[in-house]
Structure 1
Amino acid sequence: MTTTASGSTDTGTAETGARRGFEEIDILWISEGMSCDGDTVSMTASGQPAIEDIVQGLIPGLPKVNLHNKVLSPTLGGESFLAPFRAAARGDLGPFILVIEGSVPNQNIIDGEGYWTSFGNDPETGEPLTLNWWIDRLAPRAWAVVAAGTCATFGGIHAMAGNPTGCMGLADYLGWDFRSQGALPIVNVPGCPIQPENFMETLTWLLYHAAGSAPPPPLDRNLRPQWLFGKTVHEGCDRAAYYEQADFAKDYNSPKCQVRVGCWGPVVNCNVPKRGWMSGVGGCPNVGGICIGCTMPGFPDAFMPFMDEPSGGSLSATLIKPYGAVMRRLRGITNYALNREPKWHHNGPELTSGYNPRWRP
């Protein structure tokens, strides 16, 4: 039995712990990837659950959670903040969940000295420690590894064509067949930024799994939570009926389907139209914004220019036009008929409702 830096005890291997459950676990969150820290900021907006509820132990059945995130840290920063990260790199802290925010640059393409991004300094030399250095040491020791946001999952904006950094997603860096100490693949939660509840719901599932009271979260072939990204934007969009009727918006002020003005919703895996953004309110198509595919591995290159009609959009809109025109007309006729009251609603002397008490003699 070993005692961790956080004071918890590990009574065996990580696999044994996953089976029996942990009573305490650390979350080491590094946002020094190529990013804007928007995923951390977005995550704080979650209410179901809130990160505060998890850290304060208000959710039954979860292990005690020690969160180490630079934006939310109660420390003064510096070495005090870095202490658990250094302990984990030495193998003195466990179990822990490693969360990476931001894309991973390719340090191998730098010819000579220099670095793309760093997190703390080497105490012996004073030289910056690169993000890659930390990932190389922490990921193999982590009970679970989570990529937060599209930059960390698939490379995102920083990995687009023409970038000088050779950026990539965490699975590209570690390998798509990577398995953590908890025998888990990398868990990708994309979004630019992450939808708050999507991330916190996934983290909560992982924590219940760490506690030994839930199975591993089901992931799709791109390692995204299947229950969150198994359907398209279009399938949950309240504008989808306009598409079926070939009734398309011509500008961004229209409540109709926005496929002709740049929306990629019919082919993008995301649940934002159903879930909303904060407390069920908002979300790109819900407030008049087009879907630009930010939860997809091909983002942003495959979806640019963002405001142009998607490839295939013109063809699908043309094909559905005759069907939509007929359906709109037929539904209009039925709608007109159903908007009329029955003829026996009158104040005349005759009863014309068809009332006929046949059971009376």
Structure 2
Amino acid sequence: MNEKNINCPNITMRLETASVLVNKAIDAVTMNKIQKRNLIWLELTGCSGNIISLLDGADPDFKSLATQMVKIVYDNSLMAAEGEFAMEKLFNMLGKDYILAVEGAVSTKDGGLYNVIGRFKGESITAYRAIKELGEGAAYVIAVGTCASDGGISAARPNPSKCVGVQDLLNRKVIKLPGCPCHPDWFMGTLAYILLFGEPALDERARPLMFYSTLIHDCCPRHPFFEQGVFAEKLGDETCMFKLGCRGPVTRVDCPIRKWNDRVNWPIGDNSPCIGCAMFGFPDKMKPFISYNTT
């Protein structure tokens, strides 16, 4: 059976979206048509998987971002400064122009006490406080990954620290890039678009349409098996995994086109169902991830 899927439009064009935007932004900075913007990257209640994913970017890569597109003012995983010096660099940005990228949910219980990102002038700085102060003053706020976008795994039941997504704490628009983790292309492409043109076109959940406009199901190379009713009965069967619990039919993001690790593979390409990690409500609303009831 031919697995080639013809239902996903402009595959090549969409695959190159991020690299084209990043190259245009770099050219504009080099030619002094636009200025480098300050970037703050906060790692809050989460696993730091999004900054790791960003560092694994290939085309475009992290070096392009860090040296040619923006000035990274603060990121606790990457910066040399630490302690009070790091906090001073962070809060000195208040009142200046900066773009705020946030990964991880925000703990809200007991005033955010369960996620302290540092100490400054003798006070503990909670993620809650950092988001409230830095979020309102940023030119743009980008929620990177599912935890920042909607709480994600950090807010999964029973959610003892009462984690929420960034939007829940801010009275302003937050651009959301859900995914566990966020693909480096999704962040760098969105950031480059902001540098060049401002806010990108967003859907009703504030996700950039250039990356989140189509269902995984519609672009999946196994979609023809679904149409013909040929379903996998166990992991390893190279047909449609809908009956095993695949969440591709309800998940909007372009993983089938973009893939991961320099476009080498993605879950379904490795015979694993999509678990809907880029959907709002993940993980609680996406369980169980695997179902063996294929009747």
Corresponding residue for 1:28?
A: 40
Q: Measured at CA, do residues 265 and 114 of structure 1 come closer, stay the same or move farther in structure 2, by a change above 3 Å?
A: closer
1:202 counterpart letter in structure 2: T
- Correspondence 1:195 to 2:183: yes
Corresponding residue for 1:334?
A: none
Q: Measured at CA, do residues 79 and 127 of structure 1 come closer, stay the same or move farther in structure 2, by a change above 3 Å?
A: closer
Contact 1:25 1:96 in 2 (8 A): yes
Structure 1 stretches lacking a partner, 5+ long = 1-20, 179-184, 209-213, 315-361
Q: Measured at CA, do residues 204 and 67 of structure 1 come closer, stay the same or move farther in structure 2, by a change above 3 Å?
A: farther
How far is 1:196 from its partner? 1.8
Corresponding residue for 1:56?
A: 67
Residue from 71, 74, 89 that aligns with 1:68:
74
Residue from 67, 75, 84 that aligns with 1:79:
84
Tell me the C-alpha RMSD between the 2 structures: 2.1
Query: For 2:195 and 2:269, how far apart are their aligned partners in 1?
Result: 31
Q: Measured at CA, do residues 145 and 215 of structure 1 come closer, stay the same or move farther in structure 2, by a change above 3 Å?
A: closer
How far is 1:138 from its partner? 0.8
Q: Relative contact order: is structure 1 or structure 2 higher (C-alpha 8 Å, sep ≥ 6)?
A: 2
Corresponding residue for 1:274?
A: 257
The structure number with the bigger radius of gyration is: 1
Alignment partner of 1:260: what SS?
Answer: helix
Alignment partner of 2:163: what SS?
Answer: coil
Taking structure 1 as the reference length, the TM-score comes to: 0.69
Corresponding residue for 1:41?
A: 52
Give every structure 1 segment of 4 or more consecutive aligned residues whose post-TM-superposition deviation is greater than 4 Å.
none
1:268 counterpart letter in structure 2: T
Contact 1:263 1:309 in 2 (8 A): no
Identity within the alignment, %:
31
How far is 1:203 from its partner? 1.6
Structure 2 stretches lacking a partner, 5+ long = 1-32
How far is 1:45 from its partner? 1.1
2:90 counterpart letter in structure 1: F
Residue from 96, 103, 106 that aligns with 1:104:
106
Residue from 165, 168, 177 that aligns with 1:169:
165
**Corresponding residue pairs, total:** 264
Alignment partner of 2:261: what SS?
Answer: coil
1:142-190: per-residue Cα shift (whole Å, max 9, x none)? 1111111000001001212321111111112214xx1xxxxxx211011
Corresponding residue for 2:144?
A: 148
Q: Measured at CA, do residues 309 and 251 of structure 1 come closer, stay the same or move farther in structure 2, by a change above 3 Å?
A: closer
Contact 1:229 1:270 in 2 (8 A): yes
Contact 1:196 1:278 in 2 (8 A): no
Taking structure 2 as the reference length, the TM-score comes to: 0.83
Q: Measured at CA, do residues 291 and 114 of structure 1 come closer, stay the same or move farther in structure 2, by a change above 3 Å?
A: closer
Contact 2:83 2:119 in 1 (8 A): no
Query: For 1:171 and 1:142, how far apart are their aligned partners in 2?
Result: 13
Alignment partner of 2:92: what SS?
Answer: helix
Alignment partner of 1:217: what SS?
Answer: coil
2:165 counterpart letter in structure 1: G
